[in-house]
Amino acid sequence: MQIRPRRNRVSPSIRGLVRETKLHVDDLILPLFLVEGEGINDQISSLPIAKRQSLDHILSEIKSCLNVGLRHFILFPAIPESLKDKTASYSYSSDNFYLKAASAIKEKYPNITLISDVAMDPYSSDGHDGLVKDGKILNDQTLPILARMSVAQAKAGFDIVGPSDMMDGRVGVIRDALDEANFQDVGIMSYTAKYASAFYGPFRDALDSAPKSGDKKTYQMDPANRIEAIREAELDIAEGADFIMVKPALHYLDIISDLKSSFDIPIAAYHVSGECSQILAAAKLGWLDLELAMHEAVTSIKRAGADCILTYFAKEIAKSL
Ligand code: PBG
């Protein structure tokens, strides 16, 4: 035999030399869950690698991430039921603890990247990402609420806003609102191809944000669709998105790969709660090696074409790099 592919696998050092995909700490974004109060550091039973934390604990978490070089974060709020209403008005209210926390975080750590969540569901008494009327999710009436929420978040100090709602036309409306309020430098990481997935379960447990009735299938994409993701991406890019996201990640590697080869814009991928929980649960049962499975999963997402990876494993991976 003249040609032996195994020659390039004979030792760890040669494997390192020919490795095509190398994770870097700057590829990673860690999701954090914020609750109001002090001294709160609660386990999330269906996602045992993440916690629901008050600002003091979030600040120390960020500090320990910075110690391992991890500096990109996306913050989600768990809103008490008493502050939720039909129109998600607490989302842009001046006493909103999420907005105040963002200001405190950026004041203490100005050099980190802090990404927000733009959607009505954490604040909505209906638990939907848009305004609900007679059982329908209204698109155009939701847009001004998202725009107002985004401007409030930009004012609070978020570097990038992350519309996760899947309403049509929201990227353009948010871009205009940000520009009008003089936040030209605040970016938009759009959840471009967000699928109606079963793998968001633990996240909804964490935030208590599950829809009160119905499902999200009239706005989130059908898991069976691939070409439609291209159409969503074209729209988001035309409307001014700075990043386009695929979510979930592991079950949608083909979509990540399609978007990477079709567009010259950074591709983000969200390795979602249920995808991480699967690995954690199997590892807990002794069925998988956690460290190896974690690395393989996140490396696969990068290999498929993701430039930025949102994963609950970000800190563990950063430690090992
Ligand atoms: C909702 C939102 C969801 C996630 C991020 N933003 C869930 C949903 O659409 O119900 C899920 C993330 C995860 O599962 O880790 N705006």
Q: Does pLDDT of 71 surpass 90?
A: yes
Cα separation of the two ends of the chain: 37
How far apart CA 219 and CA 139 sit, in angstroms, is 9
Q: Is 27 in the pocket of ligand 1 (CB under 6 A)?
A: no
Question: Is the residue at 9 inside a domain?
Answer: no
**Number of domains present in the structure of the chain:** 1
pLDDT (0 to 100) of residue 60: 98
Question: Is the residue at 107 inside a domain?
Answer: yes
Question: Is the residue at 14 inside a domain?
Answer: no
pLDDT band, residue 209 (cuts 50/70/90): confident
The residue whose CA has the least distance to atom 11 of ligand 1 is 200
Packed helices 227-238 and 170-180: angle between N→C axes, nearest 10 degrees: 20
Question: Is the residue at 299 inside a domain?
Answer: yes
Question: Is the residue at 12 inside a domain?
Answer: no
CB 294, CB 279: distance < 8 Å: yes
pLDDT (0 to 100) of residue 255: 98
Question: Is the residue at 10 inside a domain?
Answer: no
* pTM, rounded to two decimals: 0.97
Which helix (H) or strand (E) segment is 38 a member of?
none
Phi, psi of 18, deg, nearest 5? -105, 5
CA-CA distances (angstroms) from residue 223 to 45, 124, 194? 26, 25, 9
Question: Is the residue at 6 inside a domain?
Answer: no
| 208: CATH | 3.20.20.70
How far apart CA 19 and CA 166 sit, in angstroms, is 36
Q: How far, in Å, from the CA of 203 to the mean position of ligand 1? A: 6
Tens of pLDDT, residues 57-68 = 999 999 999 999
Q: Which atom of ligand 1 is nearest to the CA of 200?
A: 14
CA-CA distances (angstroms) from residue 11 to 17, 94, 177, 184, 257? 10, 59, 55, 50, 30
Q: Quote the Cα angle for 118-116-257, to 5°.
A: 85
Tens of pLDDT, residues 241-286 = 999 999 999 999 999 999 999 999 999 999 999 999 999 999 999 9
Tens of pLDDT, residues 283-297 = 999 999 999 999 999
CA-CA distances (angstroms) from residue 231 to 43, 131, 226? 39, 24, 10
Tens of pLDDT, residues 2-40 = 999 999 999 999 999 999 999 999 999 999 999 999 999
Q: Is 311 in the pocket of ligand 1 (CB under 6 A)?
A: no
Q: Is 203 in the pocket of ligand 1 (CB under 6 A)?
A: yes
- In one letter, which amino acid is 272? V
Question: Is the residue at 218 inside a domain?
Answer: yes
Portion of the chain with pLDDT greater than 90, in percent: 97
How far apart CA 235 and CA 188 sit, in angstroms, is 13
Domain residue limits at 78:
22-320
How far apart CA 98 and CA 77 sit, in angstroms, is 6
* Mutate-to-test residue for ligand 1 from 46, 121, 192, highest number of ligand atoms within 8 A of CB: 121
